[in-house]
Chain A
């Protein structure tokens, strides 16, 4: 059965800290891995990763995929209170289906 596991489930840090969120997966086919940020309602897209070892970066956020070990990490440096959210990882094993993990709830304290 295809599955995506995220860890930790929740995390509390102070502003300025660096955090690493983990996403591991087991799927029969692999097309891509996506990271989303969900604050209150709709998840917003952060990154899509398809190739191993290539880091995607956007400001203080970065992500990398390891297709051999079947995992991805999302790094957030110099965290701010605005980074508080649920971070979702999803794997696309086919053209139309997405498998989501349970998410990591991040709380950044001022």
Chain B
């Protein structure tokens, strides 16, 4: 089955620790995205990547980092510099040239205490 997987589903960390969220897709999509969703808010773009070895900051990139070494994988690291990291994180991908329809993974809920 083609799709996007994110792991883990739930993640708990202590303040001051970096944490990496996994996102893998087997849809052969070039473009991948990371969003953050807080209660009562829509999705806010953290980073996106149009192609391997290239990525751009979204609207709320501070305190986050990404890499895109493989087409299938786009991991997100939440660093200790992120002031309020507790949130629901969604990864998405889209077809090149048909960037209108995004496919989403199941999300990772990160709690930092």
Residues in chain A within 8 A of chain B (CB atoms): 4, 6, 9, 31-32, 34, 41-45, 48, 50, 88, 90, 92, 95-98, 100-103
Known: A6-B42, A9-B40, A45-B103. 12 other contacts (CB 8 A): A42-B107, A43-B90, A48-B100, A90-B43, A92-B100, A95-B99, A96-B48, A96-B99, A98-B43, A100-B42, A100-B44, A103-B41
B101 lies within 8 A of A34 (CB): yes
A102 to B38, CA, bound (A): 10
Q: Which residues of A contact B43 (CB under 8 A)?
A: 43, 88, 90, 98, 100
A-B contact count (CB 8 A): 53
Closest to A32 in B: B100
Chain B residues within 8 Å of A92, by CB: 99-100
How many residues on B have C-beta within 8 angstroms of the other chain's C-beta atoms? 23
B107–A102 contact, CB under 8 A? no
How far is B102's CA from A45's CA once the two chains are assembled, in angstroms? 8
Q: Which residues of A contact B33 (CB under 8 A)?
A: 98
Partner of A97, one of B45, B101, B105, B106: B45
**Interchain residue pairs with CB less than 8 A apart (5):** A42-B107, A88-B43, A92-B99, A100-B43, A101-B42
Q: Does B104 contact A (CB under 8 A)?
A: yes
* Nearest residue, chain A, Cβ from B97: A95
Q: What 0/1 pattern do residues 76 to 111 of B give for CB contact below 8 A with A?
A: 000000000000001000100001111111110000
A22 vs chain B, min Cβ distance (A): 14
Contact of B104 among A9, A43, A95, A101 (CB under 8 A): A43
Tell whether B50 is near chain A: CB-to-CB under 8 Å. Answer: yes
Q: Are B102 and A98 in contact (CB under 8 A)?
A: yes
Contacts of A43 in B (CB 8 A): 43, 90, 104
A97 to B31 Cα, complex, angstroms: 10
* Complex Cα spacing A104 to B100, Å: 21
**Chain A hits for B94, CB < 8 A:** 96
